[in-house]
Structure 1
C-alpha cells in the first residue's frame, strides 16, 4: 500500500530539504535525452529498462553503468563526460519546474529554513534554480564534493564547515546530513522531498523523514519514504505547507542569507 501524507499528520518539520532533478526541476527528461545522445555518440544502444535504473544516479556512476551494461568498461569516463555535456546544453535551454514545486517552495519560504541536496554538479543546480526564480528561497545548496568512490581533495561545503569535509553522493547520506546540519536542525527534525528511490535511501540513511513525490517506482515500492504523493500541486501538500506561522524575520532570512556552498 502506498504511504500517504497521513503518516506525517502529527509531525511538522523544522526544515525542508529538496532534491532538485525531478523534484523541483523537470530535468529527468533532459537526463534521459542526454543519456540517449551519449549512447548514440559512441554508437551504443541503451539496454532495456536503463532509464529506470539510472534515475537519480550521480552522473559519474551513470557513466560507469552505461559502460558496464554495454560491455564497454573502458568508456566509463568518456560516457560520463558526454552525458554531463549533453545535459548542461539541454537544461540551459529549457529550465522547467515540476508541477506545484514553485508554489510549494514559496509557501514554505520564510516559515522554515530550506535547502537543496542534489547529486548534480553545483553549476547545474544553481543555474536551474536561478533561471526558474527559486534560488533565493534556499539558504543552502549541497552537492557531492567529488565522484563516487573518488572524493575530491579536502574542500569546505560551507563557510562554517571543516575544510576536510567530504560529501559523497546519494545513496550515501552525506548530502542530506550536511543540509540538515547547515539548516541548524537535527536530521530527525527535517523533511526531505524526493522523487527517486536513490534519494529516498540517502535521506532515510541520514535520519530525515521523507516525502516521495511523482509517479510510483516500478512495482509500487516506495522504499523508506514516510509518505508518497503524485505531485507537489496536490491539495493535501499545499494545504499543509507546513502548518507553521511565518516568523517576523522569516522572509528577510529566507531572502537575505543565501550561502553559496562550494561543495
Structure 2
C-alpha cells in the first residue's frame, strides 16, 4: 500500500497514510498515572522503596523490562511474571471504572475510520488491558492490535511497528505512528515509520524520523501527512 488520495472538488486532494499506528498508554489514553499508582501500591505492599523518578524510567518500555527494573530498584522479592500480573490487575481495574482519553485522540481515530484509513494499536501493555480499552470504542475502530505479550522484542526494538505494518500489508514508510514516550518513538522510527511524538508524562528527545507536536486536539486526518512531511522517506 502507498499513500492514498481522496479527491475534493474545491481543493487539492489530501494525502492520507496507508495506516496510522497508535501507541496506547499516554497517547490514546492517559493511563500512565494508573501504572505509576499501581507501581507505588505494589512496591509498598511488599516493603520496597519506590518514587516517581523510578516510575518515569519505565514509561513506554516492554512490561518484562519494566517489571525487572521494579525488582532491581525497589528490592521487592517477586518474579517478573508476578510483578506483571499484579500491575495489570490494578490498571485494568482502574480502566474498567474510567478511561481517561487523551485530547483529540478519539476524534481523530473516528475520522480515520470514516475515511477507511486503517488504525492499528501498537502497545507494550498486554492483550488483557488493550482489549479492555478497545471494548470502549466503536467496533472496528482498530484494524488489529499488536501487544507486548505477542512480540519477541518490545519497544524500543522496531519489531512491534514492523509487525503492525505487516498486518495491514503496508510499507512502514507509508504509515504514520503516534507516540508519547522515548522508547515508543525509538521503536517506530527504527522501523522506518514517520512518527508524531506528543510528549506527555516524560520528555521525548529529538529523534531522527519524528516530529514533535503538543497535542492531537484539533488535528485531522488530512493534517497527519503534512505534520510528518519533513521526515517522510524520499520516493
When normalised by structure 1's length, the TM-score is 0.72
Q: Where do 5+ consecutive residues of structure 2 fail to align? A: 1-13, 227-235
The CA distance in 2 between the partners of 1:216 and 1:168, in whole Å, is 23
Q: Where do 5+ consecutive residues of structure 1 fail to align? A: 1-9, 147-165, 245-263
Alignment partner of 1:37 is 2:22: no
> What's 1:86 paired with?
90
User: Residue by residue, what CA displacement relative to the aligned partner does 1:58-104 show, whole Å, maximum 9, x if unpaired?
Assistant: 22221110111124465544333322221122221111211110111
Instruction: Say which of 238, 258, 263 aligns to 2:220.
Output: 238
Alignment partner of 1:111 is 2:94: no
1:1-263 to 2 correspondence within 5 Å? 12-47=16-51, 49-72=53-76, 75-109=79-113, 110-131=115-136, 133-134=137-138, 136-145=140-149, 167-215=152-200, 217-218=202-203, 221-224=205-208, 226-233=210-217, 235=218, 237-238=219-220, 240-242=222-224
The CA distance in 2 between the partners of 1:87 and 1:25, in whole Å, is 12
Once the two structures are TM-superposed, the CA of residue 239 in structure 1 deviates from its matched residue by 7.0
The CA distance in 1 between the partners of 2:21 and 2:75, in whole Å, is 37
What is the number of equivalent residue pairs in this alignment? Answer: 212
The CA distance in 2 between the partners of 1:124 and 1:179, in whole Å, is 18
The CA distance in 1 between the partners of 2:97 and 2:201, in whole Å, is 28
The CA distance in 1 between the partners of 2:225 and 2:210, in whole Å, is 18
Once the two structures are TM-superposed, the CA of residue 105 in structure 1 deviates from its matched residue by 0.7
**Cα distance, 1:225–1:40 mapped onto 2, change above 3 Å:** farther
Deviating above 6 A after TM superposition, structure 1's stretches of 4 or more consecutive aligned residues are none
